[in-house]
Amino acid sequence: MRVAALIPAAGSGTRLGLGPKAFVEVAGRSLLGRSAAALAPHVDEVLVALPAGLKLPGDVPARAVTGGDTRQASVLALLRATQADVVLVHDAARPFLPGAVVGAVVA
């Protein structure tokens, strides 16, 4: 069974006012990097939907996919980019997900 973690991160972060929210750093690491790092040890692949023209920060263990205009469109793009049997959808705005939780969900 192949498991993929999908992170829709193509939003503009306008409410936060700091640019794309996923790229905001907390204690030297992007929110996206923290989220991907929590997921990566427990899945076969991590895919991230980004706005067109943006690249993954260097601290993100994932493969980039161009996202859509809405969260739903980004999730659809991510689903089309994976061959996994099971997918977990998480977002970069919740970067402190304990790895043990991911492991329990996948088990």
Residue 107 maps to a domain = no
How high is the pLDDT of residue 15? 62
The total of structural domains in the chain comes to: 1
34 inside domain: yes
Residue 27 lies in a domain: yes
**55 inside domain:** yes
12 domain-assigned: yes
- The torsion angle over the Cα atoms of residues 56, 62, 63 and 67, rounded to 10 degrees, is -60
Question: Is the separation of the CB atoms in 60 and 33 below 8 Å?
Answer: yes
The pairing of strands 63-66 and 45-50 is parallel
- Tell me, yes or no, whether 52 lies in a domain: yes
Q: Which domain holds residue 51?
A: 3-102
CATH assignment at residue 41 = 3.90.550.10
pLDDT along the chain (107 residues), means of 10: 93 61 77 91 96 83 91 96 97 86 90
In which element (H, E) is residue 65 found? Answer: strand 63-66
pTM above the 0.85 mark?
A: yes
SS3 42: helix
Residue 88 near residue 6 (C-beta atoms within 8 A): yes
